[in-house]
Amino acid sequence: MAVGLPESASVRGARALAVARAVEKRFGEIRAVRGVSIELEAGRIHAVCGENGAGKSTLLKVLAGMLVPDAGEVVVGGARLDPHTPREAIRRGVSMVLQHFALIPVFTVLENLMLGAEPTKRGALDEASARARAQAIADDLGVKLPLDERVEALGIGDRQRVEIARALFRDARLLILDEPTAVLTKSEATQLYATLRRLVQAGKGVVVVTHKLDEVRDHADVVTVMRRGELVFSRPLDRDGDVGAQIDAIGSAIMGAGSVAHARAGDAATGAGDAAASGGGEALVMEGVRVGRGLVDLSLTLREGEIVGVAGIEGNGQKELVAVLGGDVAPDAGIVRGGPFAIVREDRQTEGLVLDASLRDNVVLGELGRFARWHGGIDREALEREARARIERSGAPTDLDRLARTLSGGNQQKIVVERALSRSARVVVAAQPTRGVDLAASADIHAKLRDAAARGAGVLVISADLDELRKLASRIVVLARGRIVAELPPTATDEEIGRHMLGLEGERFDGATP
Amino acid sequence: MSALEVIVSGTMLAQTARMTIPYACAALGGVVSERSGVVNIALEGILLSSALAAVAVQGATESAAMGLLAGVLCGAAIGLVHAAVVVWGRIDAIVSGLAINLAAAGGTRVVLRALYGSSSNSPSVRGLEPFEHMGPLARTLLDPFLLLTLVSAALLSWSLRRTRFGLRLRACGEDPSAAQAVGVDVGWTRTLAVTIGGAVCGLGGTALAFELHQFQAGMTGGRGFIALAAVIVARWRPWPAVGACLAFAALDALQIVLQNQTKVPSQLFAILPFAATLVALALVSRRARGDARPPAGLGKHPDG
pLDDT tens per residue, range A33-47: 999 999 999 999 999
Residue B232, in any domain of the structure: yes
Residue A66, number of CB atoms within 10 A of its CB: 19
A chain contacts of residue B300, beta-carbon cutoff 8 Å: none
CB B26 within 8 A of CB B86: no
Please check the confidence at residue B147 and state whether its pLDDT lies above 70: yes
- Confidence label for B3 from pLDDT (cuts 50, 70 and 90): low
> Using alpha carbons only, what angle is made at residue A122 by residues A117 and A127, rounded to the nearest 5 degrees?
50
Taking CB atoms and an 8 Å limit, are B168 and A125 in contact across chains? no
Candidate ranges A197-211, A249-263, A381-395, A425-439; pick with highest mean pLDDT:
A197-211
CB A343 within 8 A of CB A420: yes
The nearest alpha carbon in chain B to A64 belongs to B181
pLDDT by residue (tens digit) across A279-332? Answer: 568 888 888 888 887 888 888 888 888 999 998 877 788 888 888 888 888 888
Mutate to test the interface with B, among A115, A126, A178 (most CBs of B within 10 A): A115
The nearest alpha carbon in chain B to A91 belongs to B183
CATH number at residue B165: 1.10.3470.10
Taking CB atoms and an 8 Å limit, are B179 and A114 in contact across chains? no
Residue A240, number of CB atoms within 10 A of its CB: 5
- Confidence label for A12 from pLDDT (cuts 50, 70 and 90): very low
Distances (CA, A) of A452 to A231, A416, A430, A477, B200: 39, 14, 12, 20, 69
Taking CB atoms and an 8 Å limit, are A102 and B184 in contact across chains? no
10 Å CB burial of residue A423 (0-12, 13-18, 19+) is: middle
pLDDT by residue (tens digit) across A417-434? Answer: 888 888 778 889 988 888
Taking CB atoms and an 8 Å limit, are A115 and B182 in contact across chains? yes
Taking CB atoms and an 8 Å limit, are A106 and B167 in contact across chains? no
Interatomic CA distance for residues A203 and B286, integer angstroms: 53
Residue B188, in any domain of the structure: yes
pLDDT by residue (tens digit) across B55-89? Answer: 999 999 988 999 999 999 999 999 999 999 999 99
Ranges assigned E (strand) in A267-306? 282-291, 295-303
Taking CB atoms and an 8 Å limit, are A116 and B168 in contact across chains? yes
Domains recognised in chain A with CATH numbers: 16-93+173-257 (3.40.50.300), 106-170 (no CATH), 266-340+425-514 (3.40.50.300), 348-423 (no CATH)
- Confidence label for B190 from pLDDT (cuts 50, 70 and 90): very high
Instruction: Collapse the DSSP code of B119 into the 3-class scheme (helix H, G, I; strand E, B; otherwise coil) and give the result.
Output: coil
B chain contacts of residue A120, beta-carbon cutoff 8 Å: 163-164
- Confidence label for A52 from pLDDT (cuts 50, 70 and 90): low
Distances (CA, A) of A379 to A385, A393, A401, A403: 10, 21, 17, 21
**If you compute the radius of gyration of chain B from its CA atoms, what whole number of angstroms results?**
19
Please report the sign of the dihedral spanned by the C-alpha atoms of residue A440, residue A446, residue A450, residue A451.
positive
The nearest alpha carbon in chain A to B169 belongs to A115
Residue B197, in any domain of the structure: yes
Please check the confidence at residue A442 and state whether its pLDDT lies above 70: yes
B163 to chain A, closest Cα gap in Å: 4
Confirm or reject contact between B162 and chain A (CB < 8 A). Answer: yes
Of A103, A111, A123, nearest to B178 by CB-CB distance is A103
Please check the confidence at residue A2 and state whether its pLDDT lies above 60: no
Taking CB atoms and an 8 Å limit, are B168 and A103 in contact across chains? no
Please report the sign of the dihedral spanned by the C-alpha atoms of residue A433, residue A435, residue A436, residue A440.
positive
Of B167, B183, B293, nearest to A111 by CB-CB distance is B167
pLDDT by residue (tens digit) across A460-493? Answer: 999 887 888 888 888 999 888 888 888 888 888 7
Residue B13, number of CB atoms within 10 A of its CB: 17
Interatomic CA distance for residues B117 and B112, integer angstroms: 7
Of B163, B171, B183, nearest to A104 by CB-CB distance is B171
Instruction: Name the strand (E) or helix (H) holding A485.
Output: strand A483-488
The nearest alpha carbon in chain B to A167 belongs to B182
The nearest alpha carbon in chain A to B161 belongs to A125
- Confidence label for B288 from pLDDT (cuts 50, 70 and 90): low
Residue B297, in any domain of the structure: no
Taking CB atoms and an 8 Å limit, are A124 and B162 in contact across chains? yes
The nearest alpha carbon in chain A to B172 belongs to A104
Of B167, B181, B293, nearest to A114 by CB-CB distance is B167
10 Å CB burial of residue B183 (0-12, 13-18, 19+) is: middle
**Helix residue spans in chain B (DSSP H):** 3-7, 10-35, 43-61, 64-83, 93-116, 136-141, 144-162, 164-174, 176-181, 186-212, 223-233, 238-261, 266-286
Residues B67, B70, B75, B77: what is their CA dihedral angle, to the nearest 10 degrees?
Answer: -170
Cα B125 to the center of its chain, rounded Å:
22
CB A259 within 8 A of CB A494: yes
The residue type found at B15 is Q
Residue B281, number of CB atoms within 10 A of its CB: 14
Instruction: Collapse the DSSP code of A294 into the 3-class scheme (helix H, G, I; strand E, B; otherwise coil) and give the result.
Output: coil
Distances (CA, A) of B117 to A141, B60, B103, B109, B112: 74, 15, 19, 10, 7
Taking CB atoms and an 8 Å limit, are B183 and A107 in contact across chains? no
Please check the confidence at residue B140 and state whether its pLDDT lies above 90: no
Residue B294 has phi, psi (to 5 degrees) of -65, 155
Interatomic CA distance for residues A493 and A93, integer angstroms: 43
CB proximity under 8 Å: A 143-182 to B: 166
Mutate to test the interface with A, among B160, B167, B172, B186 (most CBs of A within 10 A): B167
CB B66 within 8 A of CB B58: yes
Q: Is the peptide bond before A83 cis (omega within 30 degrees of 0)?
A: yes
**If you compute the radius of gyration of chain A from its CA atoms, what whole number of angstroms results?**
26
Confirm or reject contact between A117 and chain B (CB < 8 A). Answer: yes
Taking CB atoms and an 8 Å limit, are A115 and B177 in contact across chains? no
Taking CB atoms and an 8 Å limit, are A104 and B179 in contact across chains? yes
B165 to chain A, closest Cα gap in Å: 9
Taking CB atoms and an 8 Å limit, are B175 and A115 in contact across chains? no
The nearest alpha carbon in chain A to B185 belongs to A116
Instruction: Name the strand (E) or helix (H) holding A322.
Output: helix A318-325
Residue A509, number of CB atoms within 10 A of its CB: 17
Instruction: Indicate the pairing of strand A475-480 with strand A483-488.
Output: antiparallel
Taking CB atoms and an 8 Å limit, are B168 and A104 in contact across chains? no
Lateral strand order in the sheet of A16-27: A30-41, A16-27, A71-76, A79-80
Q: Which of B29, B12, B93, B86 is nearest to B230 (CA)?
A: B29
B157 to chain A, closest Cα gap in Å: 13
B301 versus B82: which is more confidently predicted?
B82
DSSP type of residue A423:
S
What is the per-residue pLDDT for A282? Answer: 83
B166 to chain A, closest Cα gap in Å: 9
The nearest alpha carbon in chain B to A110 belongs to B167
Residue B194, in any domain of the structure: yes
Q: Is the peptide bond before A340 cis (omega within 30 degrees of 0)?
A: yes
> A163: which residues sit within 8 A by CB, 6+ positions away?
A97, A101, A102, A103
> What is the SS3 string spanning A210-268?
ECCHHHHHHHCCEEEEEECCEEEEEEECCCCCCHHHHHHHHHHHHHCCCCHHHHHHCHH
Exposure on the CB side of residue B295, measured as CA atoms within 13 A? 28
Residue B119, in any domain of the structure: yes
> Using alpha carbons only, what angle is made at residue A99 by residues A97 and A105, rounded to the nearest 5 degrees?
80
The residue type found at B136 is P
Of A106, A114, A120, nearest to B174 by CB-CB distance is A106
CB proximity under 8 Å: A 56-115 to B: 86-87, 90, 102-107, 111, 114-115
Residue B104, in any domain of the structure: yes
Interatomic CA distance for residues A360 and A370, integer angstroms: 14
The residue segments making up the domain with residue B123 are 3-286
What is the per-residue pLDDT for A188? Answer: 80
A chain contacts of residue B162, beta-carbon cutoff 8 Å: 124-125
The nearest alpha carbon in chain B to A96 belongs to B181
pLDDT by residue (tens digit) across B26-54? Answer: 999 999 999 999 999 999 999 999 999 99
pLDDT by residue (tens digit) across A351-394? Answer: 888 888 888 888 888 887 888 888 878 888 888 888 888 888 88
Distances (CA, A) of B138 to B1, B16, B129, B142: 21, 14, 12, 6
> A147: which residues sit within 8 A by CB, 6+ positions away?
A108, A109, A110, A113, A131, A134, A135
Residue B295, in any domain of the structure: no
Confirm or reject contact between A337 and chain B (CB < 8 A). Answer: no
Q: At what angle do helices A243-255 and A494-501 cross, to 10 degrees?
A: 100
Average pLDDT, chain B: 89
Average pLDDT, chain A: 82
**How many distinct structural domains can be found in chain B?**
1
Residue A492 has phi, psi (to 5 degrees) of -60, 145
Taking CB atoms and an 8 Å limit, are B164 and A103 in contact across chains? no
Confirm or reject contact between B289 and chain A (CB < 8 A). Answer: no
Residue B237 has phi, psi (to 5 degrees) of -115, 140
CB A308 within 8 A of CB A459: yes
Confirm or reject contact between A327 and chain B (CB < 8 A). Answer: no
Q: What are the DSSP calls for A54-119, one per residue?
A: SSHHHHHHHHTTSS--SEEEEEETTEE-SS-SHHHHHHTTEEEE-SS----TTSBHHHHHHTTS--
Confirm or reject contact between A125 and chain B (CB < 8 A). Answer: yes
CB proximity under 8 Å: B 165-204 to A: 167-168, 170-171, 174-175, 177-179, 181-184
Mutate to test the interface with A, among B182, B185, B235, B289 (most CBs of A within 10 A): B182
Mutate to test the interface with B, among A90, A122, A125, A169 (most CBs of B within 10 A): A125
Of A90, A104, A123, nearest to B175 by CB-CB distance is A104
Confirm or reject contact between A509 and chain B (CB < 8 A). Answer: no
Lateral strand order in the sheet of A295-303: A295-303, A282-291, A333-338
Direct distance between the N- and C-terminal alpha carbons of chain A, in angstroms, rounded to an integer: 51
Taking CB atoms and an 8 Å limit, are A115 and B174 in contact across chains? no
Q: Is ipTM > 0.90 here?
A: no
Distances (CA, A) of A199 to A42, A132, A142, A192: 10, 19, 10, 11
- Confidence label for B131 from pLDDT (cuts 50, 70 and 90): low
Buried-exposed string A327-349: b where 16+ CB fall within 10 A, e elsewhere: eeeebeebebebeebbbbbbebe
CB B40 within 8 A of CB B167: no
Predicted TM-score (pTM) of the model is 0.70
> Using alpha carbons only, what angle is made at residue A301 by residues A297 and A304, rounded to the nearest 5 degrees?
155
